[in-house]
Amino acid sequence: MRSLFRLIPAPVACTALTAFVCTFTPDTYTPLVMERVDGLGDTVSPFPSLRFAFSMAVENDNVSLYMEPEGESYYTQLNSTHDTLALVVTGMLQGSTLYSVSPAEKIVGATGSALQPRAVSFSFCTYPREQEPNDTRDTSMRFENPIYGEIFNTHDTDYFCVDDAAGSGLYLRSHDAGVALGLGIADTAGHDTTSRGIEPLKYVAVPDSMSRPLFARVFSVTGKGRYELGAYQP
């Protein structure tokens, strides 16, 4: 009679079967990733609009962010495809300050992966901004290239003492639509040149007849608003 023992598979077959089961790999887990994509760099305006992208669409209808130091006015806006988030500052951040931005709530991706609150953090610095009062020559602050400020009302004027950093002239960029700001440059000898047009970007050259120190002034033509003042070379 033939032995049934010989019908049992050889040990090598069992080992091969075990190896196959142990090397089985489930579907790859894809984590949710958030990154800055605005291209503004590490130093930004005190009134920036930052953009962040997610590696996949998120399930959240809205996404809130922490921004520290606190106390500034801003809002966030998720795009229609739920994969890009904008942070828009509606006031002005402090100048020459280090800020950090991080999720304020759990963000869930389309595959179920998630970012927990403060799971990632993004840091940036701000350019210098004006310090009040600087509404006369005697209280003018030192010009830094560039510097940011705000005209608070139609009677407000901001003065800056300008050294050689001004180069051949200054530009003034109005940040808020519909607001017309003026730019003037003068010296202590009485020479003065001014641009008052309604265009949002103005250039004022420094005449060769002017002697240092120079004083730049930013003032309202119509309305009030935020601005950037910087040096340019024609």
Q: Is 12 a residue whose pLDDT tops 80?
A: no
pLDDT given for residue 187 in this prediction:
94
Q: 175-229 pLDDT, tens per residue? A: 999 999 999 999 999 999 999 988 999 999 998 889 888 999 999 999 999 999 9
pLDDT given for residue 105 in this prediction:
97
Q: Is the dihedral of CA 50, 72, 47, 222 positive or negative?
A: positive
pLDDT given for residue 166 in this prediction:
63
Q: 88-113 pLDDT, tens per residue? A: 999 999 999 999 999 999 999 999 99
Range 56-78 average pLDDT:
96
Q: Is the dihedral of CA 108, 112, 113, 117 positive or negative?
A: positive
Quickly state the pLDDT bin for 233 (edges 50, 70, 90).
confident
pLDDT given for residue 58 in this prediction:
98
Q: 14-58 pLDDT, tens per residue? A: 344 444 444 444 456 789 999 999 999 999 999 999 999 999 999
Q: Is 135 a residue whose pLDDT tops 70?
A: yes
The domains of the chain are located at: 34-126, 141-232
List the CATH code of the domain at 141-232. 2.60.120.380
Range 146-166 average pLDDT:
90
pLDDT given for residue 211 in this prediction:
87
CATH fold match for the domains 34-126 and 141-232:
no
Q: Which fold has domain 34-126?
A: Immunoglobulin-like (2.60.40)
pLDDT given for residue 99 in this prediction:
98
